[in-house]
Amino acid sequence: MGLKIVDATVSSFNEVFSKFKEEAANNKASFILFLADKDPSTNLSWCPDCVRAEPMIYKKLEASGDDVALLRAYVGDRPTWRNPLHPWRVDSTFQLKGVPTLIRWENDAVAARLEDHEAHIDSKISALLAESK
């Protein structure tokens, strides 16, 4: 089946995440990638770390084999994300500190994560994916 990608925003996340969790048992591996929204004028993320990390993460996930699910969760524009009360900053499950953040989701919990400053590093992405096998 290959890489299955679903997208969510802050407003649609709960509904999309519920379905993602229900289907997680059917996947070899499940990941959540928290990203900054794209700037409509450039179609690139406002976050330079996201622009750098996204292609590397997708390449590694696509190469990792079949039945991998990725939930891309967009945190909003820069002012929305900068708010200290952003829902994913204060959420006890995710406790986001930066974007991009790549999370391996196993057994209905965060099993491992790569934070913004390391989410573009090839060896770190490979290690996170290898742990899911």
Q: What is the value of pTM for the model shown? A: 0.94
The predicted structure's pLDDT at residue 16:
97
Residues identified as active-site:
47, 50
CA distance 79 to 88: 14
Could you identify the residue written with the tokens 């900054």? 36
The predicted structure's pLDDT at residue 87:
96
* Per-residue pLDDT reduced to its tens digit, 21-60: 999 988 889 999 999 999 888 888 999 999 999 999 999 9
The predicted structure's pLDDT at residue 1:
55
Angle separating helix axes 122-130 and 48-63, nearest 10 degrees: 40
Contact 46, 40 (CB under 8 A): no
Look over the chain and give the mean of its residue pLDDT values, rounded to a whole number: 92
**Over residues 50-75, mean pLDDT:** 91
